[in-house]
Amino acid sequence: QVQLVESGGGLVQAGGSLRLSCAASGRTFSSYAQGWFRQAPGKEREFVAGISWTSGETYYSDSVKGRFTISKDDAKNTVYLQMNSLKPEDTAVYYCAAGPLVRAIRKYEYWGQGTQVTVSS
């Protein structure tokens, strides 16, 4: 079992930055990949970025590549999503998730409660 707790959402102007945090706990969380998904109103949940706790491999969706950076702090059991050059279309509820492989997007099985990110134009 893996528990995930997100923080760091908020309201920011277009072009600004935010950093999301996701603290992981549970006996086996370090054997998982951890990622971020987002869901905008009226849209399906989409993958944003992922990172492997063991290898550090990262994977990004094309829509955020070059603007967002995912990283981890092993000592704090925390994964971060640094979001730069934010656009109004980045507005969504962002969810932290854990799954067996970074790129196996449909196999993420543990989810946090979500945190709202709103980008104003």
Given 3-state DSSP classes, what are the helix, strand and coil percentages for the chain, each rounded to the nearest 5? 10, 50, 40
Helix (H/G/I), strand (E/B), else coil: 12? strand
Question: For residue range 3-55, what is the model confidence (pLDDT) as tens digits?
Answer: 999 999 999 999 999 999 999 998 778 888 999 999 999 999 999 999 999 99
Q: Name the amino acid, one letter, at 47.
A: F
What letters, b where the CB count within 10 A reaches 16 and e where it falls short, cover 22-55?
A: bbbeeeebeebbbbbbbeeeeeebebbbbbbbee
Average pLDDT over all residues of the chain = 95
Band the pLDDT of 85: cuts 50, 70, 90. Answer: very high
